[in-house]
Chains A and B, each alone.
Chain A
């Protein structure tokens, strides 16, 4: 793989609140390559959505990006002017949110949703041309063209989610960030969505960042996985490395605590305890209070990354002693 299309370097995002500062994202570095699908997994509150939004430079106040660089094709998004960021959103990097019903305006027919998006990015375009573009994309999503003149409530849940993808794709971006795109969908519909996403990916040569806690979905779609915990990256590797040879106990726990329909599991791995308090995070490794393999050093010093080749790296002290997670 050549140079990354998006390169996040040492990114930190803070939320100053009355009782201190929430370190929502701390010192995160990830590369996304062209045509690649990257999964960002972790439990609620681990900072994955904050990280996803920050790529479009959307950070809800009082949150602030306090350090780091975010290079999109070697241009730093964090240094761009507001106007440039507006152009970047949608044209180059698009976002698909979790709940399509709250993202679509119930009073607007689909054509207006599409027109608004297209004209915003391309003010000179003729209405007719814009509508044709919208019809084309609906066609690709498997929705009949005539339905462009219907309201969001007239579509089923799966269709609404496809429409959201369509709105994201209409300006032909290189990167799509999908934040829990299937949580509101049923299994069969979800599987259809996975098929669609995989097809679109090839057709548009898309790079995808998939933010989710659903490991099944991750295994179906992505090439590489980044595991987040308490605002930090615990492990990054290819899907194969993460699922088959995880090097971090948290990754291992995350993978073995979900029921797998293909296996006859007697017991599931359980992780006692709660996610860390990000105002006063535990000293040393943030996972140490819940880690089944915790050692003395884990509570004292935060581990650095150990590299295992092929881009696989994990932040755990065990690996310095030849152990595996």
Chain B
């Protein structure tokens, strides 16, 4: 399998503005949030990589960095072997024909003043693909495939006239219309109702086959990640702490944080109620994260070494990497 996306030592820092008063009175220095802190991974063509973690772990920022919707502080992003760091804004815009993103909330990512047809056809217009008639044909054809039927009827509708599930389909169709091969899906089902979620997940699976897509699937819901992804990366405070195949992560998790996350997932079956109480505590601030391994204050297996230095991601089984010092004497 060829690699479609390769990310190396990606870093994104956001400055936190300190007010002049704090600076003068308290001598407070300007600080930064380490949203993404030295992250590396690659995605093979045709694969679904899940990026999972709690809110504030930097998973959405990573997704946006891949398309250079925000500039990375440092690090390298490769798409099909070409380094994107040197690409200008203009070049990136052209490239987004092939790399697309689907956001969480379909209502806020659709213009209320654009009809369904206009919205889905808009990327074609931006990228100057085909004439008006061709575009319309392409849009209607895609609407048919994505289940926005009757297509002729819905073509003229506006977002407020659609249901939540239909809106999410419009967003998906808009992302697919330029025939991309890579899609970042940022929590595409988080806002949807339970029955709509299943529909969207099934649709994403079907589209992946039909259009030969590669997904980066960002989610906080591990059960969904397990359902859709081939490989999963777990993020905590800007770092990937474990990455491996679906089986590695869900059947043989290594990092204590991964285990804690898995234990906390509620199971829709009253026979499988959790017996033990979960680890207390919440994700700390990314402005002054704990030193060493970020997870050490919450970790049940903390050792002295965990407080010093960042534990490197190390292979613990073929293609299964974990950033934990345990069983590594």
Which A residues lie at the B interface, using CB under 8 A? 43-44, 142, 156-159, 186-192, 194-195, 213-220, 239-240, 243-244, 253-255, 257-262, 265, 267-272, 274-275
Q: Which residue of A lies closest to B202 (CB)?
A: A270
B226 part of interface (Cβ distance < 8 Å): yes
Distance in angstroms from A80 CB to nearest chain B CB is 35
User: Are A186 and B198 interface neighbours, CB within 8 A?
Assistant: no
User: Are B195 and A257 interface neighbours, CB within 8 A?
Assistant: yes
Distance in angstroms from A195 CB to nearest chain B CB is 5
Q: A188-B282, A213-B193, A213-B194 are in contact. Are A220 and B265 (CB under 8 A)?
A: no
Q: A142-B280, A259-B226, A274-B163 are in contact. Are A190 and B194 (CB under 8 A)?
A: no
User: Are B280 and A268 interface neighbours, CB within 8 A?
Assistant: no
User: Are A220 and B223 interface neighbours, CB within 8 A?
Assistant: no
User: Are A187 and B54 interface neighbours, CB within 8 A?
Assistant: yes
B268 part of interface (Cβ distance < 8 Å): yes
What's the Cα separation between A157 and B263 when bound, in Å?
20
User: Are B195 and A261 interface neighbours, CB within 8 A?
Assistant: no
B310 part of interface (Cβ distance < 8 Å): no
| Residues of the A chain whose Cβ atoms lie less than 8 Å from the Cβ of B263 | 191
- Pick from B260, B261, B265: contact of A216, CB below 8 A: B265
B267 part of interface (Cβ distance < 8 Å): yes
User: Are B261 and A261 interface neighbours, CB within 8 A?
Assistant: no
| Residues of the B chain whose Cβ atoms lie less than 8 Å from the Cβ of A254 | 194-195
**5 residue pairs from A and B, CB less than 8 Å apart:** A192-B277, A195-B277, A218-B268, A258-B194, A270-B199
Q: A194-B266, A240-B271 are in contact. Are A261 and B194 (CB under 8 A)?
A: no
User: Are B198 and A268 interface neighbours, CB within 8 A?
Assistant: yes
| Residues of the A chain whose Cβ atoms lie less than 8 Å from the Cβ of B272 | 219, 262
| Residues of the A chain whose Cβ atoms lie less than 8 Å from the Cβ of B224 | 259
User: Are B278 and A192 interface neighbours, CB within 8 A?
Assistant: yes
Q: Which residue of A lies closest to B195 (CB)?
A: A271
B270 part of interface (Cβ distance < 8 Å): yes
- Pick from A44, A220, A253: contact of B273, CB below 8 A: A220
User: Are A43 and B193 interface neighbours, CB within 8 A?
Assistant: yes
- Pick from A158, A259, A269: contact of B227, CB below 8 A: A259
Distance in angstroms from A17 CB to nearest chain B CB is 16
- Pick from B165, B226, B262: contact of A274, CB below 8 A: B165
Distance in angstroms from A235 CB to nearest chain B CB is 15
Q: A43-B194, A213-B194, A268-B201 are in contact. Are A243 and B268 (CB under 8 A)?
A: yes
Distance in angstroms from A139 CB to nearest chain B CB is 15
| Residues of the B chain whose Cβ atoms lie less than 8 Å from the Cβ of A239 | 270
Distance in angstroms from A224 CB to nearest chain B CB is 11
| Residues of the A chain whose Cβ atoms lie less than 8 Å from the Cβ of B280 | 142, 192
Q: Which residue of A lies closest to B260 (CB)?
A: A188
Q: A216-B266, A219-B268, A254-B195 are in contact. Are A261 and B223 (CB under 8 A)?
A: yes
B 9-47 contacts with A by CB, 8 A = none
What's the Cα separation between A215 and B199 when bound, in Å?
17
What's the Cα separation between A158 and B298 when bound, in Å?
15
Q: Which residue of A lies closest to B273 (CB)?
A: A220
What's the Cα separation between A156 and B269 when bound, in Å?
29
User: Are B267 and A44 interface neighbours, CB within 8 A?
Assistant: no
Given A243-B270, A259-B226, 5 other A-B contacts at CB below 8 A? A187-B261, A188-B278, A188-B281, A259-B201, A267-B202
User: Are A219 and B269 interface neighbours, CB within 8 A?
Assistant: yes
| Residues of the A chain whose Cβ atoms lie less than 8 Å from the Cβ of B221 | 187, 259
Q: Which residue of A lies closest to B199 (CB)?
A: A270
Distance in angstroms from A85 CB to nearest chain B CB is 32
**Residue-wise interface mask of B (244-276) relative to A, using a CB-CB cutoff of 8 A (1 in contact, 0 not):** 000000100000000011111111111111100
B197 part of interface (Cβ distance < 8 Å): yes
What's the Cα separation between A271 and B192 when bound, in Å?
13
What's the Cα separation between A259 and B221 when bound, in Å?
9
What's the Cα separation between A268 and B271 when bound, in Å?
21
User: Are A186 and B278 interface neighbours, CB within 8 A?
Assistant: no
User: Are B269 and A262 interface neighbours, CB within 8 A?
Assistant: yes
| Residues of the B chain whose Cβ atoms lie less than 8 Å from the Cβ of A190 | 264, 266
What's the Cα separation between A54 and B130 when bound, in Å?
56
Q: Which residue of A lies closest to B283 (CB)?
A: A186
What's the Cα separation between A253 and B278 when bound, in Å?
30
B59 part of interface (Cβ distance < 8 Å): no
